[in-house]
A and B are shown apart, each in its own frame.
Chain A
Amino acid sequence: MNGLILTTQQALQLLFTGDPELWSIVLLSFSVSLKAILLSTPLAFLVSFALSHGNFPGIRIILAVFNSLLSVPTVVIGLFLYVLLTRQGPFGDLKLLFTQTAMVIGQIILCFPILVALGYAAIQAADRRVWETARTLRAPPWFSMLTVFFEVRFALLAAIITGFGRIISEIGISMMIGGNIMGYTRNITTAIALETSKGEFSQGIALGLVLLLLSFLLTTLMSYLQGQKDFLE
């Protein structure tokens, strides 16, 4: 018990004294995951909109594919990308393995189906009359789509937050194609795994606390957004 208290004290000390190694890991995590979510959101919501308002064959099949991708283990995505990016792989010449770019690509693959599925649910919940009203008031299709997005903005933001929460806490992709290189590809989750395997719990707990705090903030933000949505309705 004393050991746990002591380790937690050390973890808090690392956090509040601004330990450069620890905070560089936190920054790298946020940098990679923010890039992934920012790059994937526009296209994902476009796909959601096309699936929701489009009238083309195969919509149900595409939706089923995206829904089944929601539960793909991160190590499978990591393995898939590893095979593609390894020196003998089809994209080996790009030399992306064990880089932040590879981590961003992996996280995009992970969050894209989440954004599409949740974005689709949000847009489906919007009244079809929003689109029709915008169109009949002479808005071009792209502006009518933005109008629909604006009307369901809280649900779309919740989708983004869920996607971000998923990718910042994943470990399989980061470990397999990031390589856990200190100062370059080591992020919060891979650092926790490494420190724990070394028996150095204080930094692991400190990083765990950052993740827990982030989870708390995201949940609070989602509740707030839900409240805003209810208020407007």
Chain B
Amino acid sequence: MNLPLFVFRGIEKSFSGKKILCGTNLSLYPGKCILLSGKNGVGKTTLLKIIAGLETPESAEIEYDGRINDWKKILRKVRKEIIYLHQQPIMFSSSVESNVAYGLRFSSLNNQQRCESVKEAIEWAGLSNVAKIQAKTLSGGVQQRVAFTRAWILKPKVLLLDEPMSNMDYESRKQTFLLLEKVKSTGMSLVITSHFLNYFDDLADQHFRLMNGVLDLTNNY
């Protein structure tokens, strides 16, 4: 196995005095997919948000580039490399094209490169027919694909997907699955939370169950 991209150690988090995560550990490898399961409210989303730098843990350490860092010190780096996708994605009030281009504003690409990149990403995701449409008016399944493309275009090292296939019909699930396969083959690390484990049998390399604040490896495919 390759060296891990990130190793998260000792993640602690509580809400209203109740411990949700108790020293949770997780290693993310390039081109590997981790499936996370667990009961509702067990802390899966919280764990993903902490990994993405969107939620503050009480304590956590991150191993990156062979060095162990305090969570706060490496937060900026984490945010550059890891992108989190919500269960129900938020579309900004603009076209699909503008939504996909959102994060590129903060890259070093010039205008022309950005346009080309957006066009390529939209074609890659099969969204060309809705590129000019107001993103908020699209169905949940297509919005999920737009959100996915919007993240993929930034080429993060890790993509965190929170219940990516909930509320999707069979066709949308199939298309999203194909996109996930394509992404994984490019070397991106994926972490997916889901209640529908069989959807990801062919994609996941490891399956962890979150229980009592710790991750339990239940399957190594």
Q: Which residues of A contact B (CB under 8 A)?
A: 127, 129-130, 132-140, 143, 147, 150-151, 232-233
With most chain B CB atoms within 10 A of its CB, the pick from A129, A138, A233 is: A138
Given the complex of chains A and B, what is the CA–CA distance between A129 and B54 in angstroms? 10
Contacts A135-B79, A136-B151, A138-B103 supplied; 8 other A-B pairs, CB < 8 Å: A129-B88, A129-B90, A132-B49, A133-B89, A136-B54, A136-B83, A136-B84, A232-B136
Given the complex of chains A and B, what is the CA–CA distance between A189 and B5 in angstroms? 67
The residue from B49, B84, B90 contacting A130, defined by CB atoms under 8 A apart: B90
Looking across the interface, which residue of chain B has its beta carbon closest to that of A139?
A: B106
Known contacts A129-B86, A130-B90, A132-B86; is A137 also within 8 Å of B80 by CB?
Answer: no
Chain B residues, Cβ within 8 Å of A150: 92-93
Is B52 a contact of A133 with CB atoms below 8 Å?
no
Residue of B nearest to A152 (CB): B93
A151 contacts B79, C-beta separation under 8 Å:
no
Q: A137–B154 contact, CB under 8 A?
A: yes
Contact of B102 (CB < 8 Å), options: A127, A139, A232, A233? A139
A137–B82 alpha-carbon span in the complex (Å): 9
Residue B184 at the chain A interface, CB threshold 8 Å: no
Task: Report if A136-B79 is in contact (Cβ < 8 Å); known contacts: A129-B86, A232-B136.
Answer: yes
Interface of A is mostly: helix
Do B90 and A138 have beta carbons less than 8 Å apart?
A: no
- Verify A151–B106 contact, CB threshold 8 A: no
Residue of A132, A139, A232 near B103 (CB, 8 A) is A139
Find residues 72-97 in chain B having any chain A CB closer than 8 Å to their own CB.
79-80, 82-84, 86, 88-90, 92-93
For B151, list chain A residues within 8 Å (CB): 136-137
Partner of A151 from the list B53, B93, B105, B154 (CB cut-off 8 Å) is: B93
B39-71 to A contact mask, C-beta < 8 Å, 1/0 = 000000000010011100000000000000000
Whether A140 and B106, one on each chain, are in contact in the complex, defined by CB atoms closer than 8 angstroms, is yes
What is the minimal beta-carbon distance from A230 to any residue of chain B, in angstroms?
Answer: 12
A137 partner residues in chain B, CB cutoff 8 A: 83, 102-103, 150-151, 154
Q: How far is the CA of A130 from the CA of B83 in the complex (A)?
A: 14
Query: B106 contacts A133, CB within 8 Å?
Result: no
Q: How far is the CA of A134 from the CA of B154 in the complex (A)?
A: 13
Chain B residue at minimal CB-CB distance from A132: B54
Q: Is A138 a contact of B106 with CB atoms below 8 Å?
A: yes
The 8 Å CB contact of A133, one of B79, B90, B93, B105, is B90
A15 to B89, CA, bound (A): 54
Within residues 128 to 160 of chain B, which ones have a CB less than 8 A from any CB in chain A? 134, 136, 147, 150-151, 154
Which B residues are CB-close (under 8 A) to A147?
92
Partner of B84, one of A132, A143, A232, A233: A132
